[in-house]
A and B are shown apart, each in its own frame.
Chain A
């Protein structure tokens, strides 16, 4: 399993300090900082929203996915570690597959605790997984990678109904989307499902399931990426209009467009057709079918643009579109789509 980048062991002691006690092979300072910020025992807001049941979180920072597992109220009988109250293991990986990594983390934590908090055992286990793909009860091969990609689109459509079209527009036009929810699990699931809307791009890098907008490292990361789908549990994020063009509130199922970008979100006839497709009963409840339907519709749109391009000797420019005598909204939309699909040539 060579998508794994590194593993971190985090402990919390009786003084209330949380720190990364072990890392293999290496971890950058900013990565460490971000991981800690997203660690439930450091970030009280996360702790509140995570509830008592779940103890697994995943998010993304820069190019790697961050999977964190927390074990609370650890009891050991090793004298030196009597001060440790909680334990967490974090794995950084290039692959997006939450379920797989969840199982892996469970196993690693087991090993860690049973070895009386001996981090070298974790290191051993990590290396085993890295080389062989199995450790303990975990076997990397038993997971089908394609499954990870199919997100839960049906629940999204159910939640937002016709507004889903706006979300689709945002993703198609490479806009920045910010999602808010109180519940971390729901949030991360939602954000990881969103790229399914633009299946034809297969662009999974732009998702940032959990972001702390107060953390400088994370905001720099966001700015560098440029276009993203990010999730936050900070309720005041709605006011931070410089971080989004589209704001989704999962608790209220509302969609908010930032003032600067309203021009790009004007709905045209095509959107209505898409909305009809989304709401039609035969795709209801089935994410795969939904994905397929949306993909088909998107392909239609792109095909149109492509034919246009090929008709004019592989050139697609703004003037060309203007000469088609469309109304301004449609023109805008088509132009932006073409731009984000890298179809525009010429000045």
Chain B
């Protein structure tokens, strides 16, 4: 629900970082796009993608790059959803977070504190680094035995050598010193259940925040998810178990190759500035390998560019990750179709994956030939394949 800044919004103060990453954006004057929890959880979902790791790590505005490449991302948020999300969050946080803590205590079974006994520190400061420092200070300053609620704190997380600033909706400090991440979302909890994919997304996002807190404070393994109840605007809360998403997130982010190693793949002087001509930008983007999968379309601004490239190359992943499973070493549509058509005596065809493909092609061709009349649509005839029909009964 945290309103992500509009694309290309400059962060007020650039944090210290290697000049190399500044150069990758096209120069120090190009504003850095901060990494947020949404981007991190998307990155954690596809840790093999070096292109995304480098562009996100360097703070490149991927939407602008996609636009310059001629494959703009169709992302955007409807202002209705935006207004509704903000209105709900404001409503939940009105009265100094009393309702939030009530929901939290109801979920954990703790005793509800008096509203006056809850510390709500002021977290305003200049720039992300200042706000993050302020948050760290506020967390450290909460006396033992005291409840505290941090509204829109700012956390930092080192990802592949770059600092990401993360802004959870809220954090609650329990009297025992434990910290609970609070996520406020505008999708409803209907008759006690939420859409599992949306709840999963919220859990992954909360896990990124928990990861950022790990080490500095004892962060609890369950986050509080606050959603509107049924068709109304009353908040309802529930605990999200973070252990699995946290473990997954930690593992995936640790796997992200060091940015410097990825940046070494770029030719000397290449960068992702959108001022350069399209061919140079394309060459720069293409010099860093991507790991495209159709899931990227929902989470990455560059996905449509990567999809075009994957399709041009005939990569089987473009048809879905699950397609890869049985294909062994065959990587392209062309290779697969050739293997399916290959002569059984060909030595290359003795590979088990190729053999299975030949059988699949033969069985499919036989079925299509026996099922007369052929379906009216998709009018092209079946490509020739090994085997054939024996003109007998359809195997049905």
Q: Do A and B come from one complex?
A: no
Binding site for B on A (CB under 8 A): none
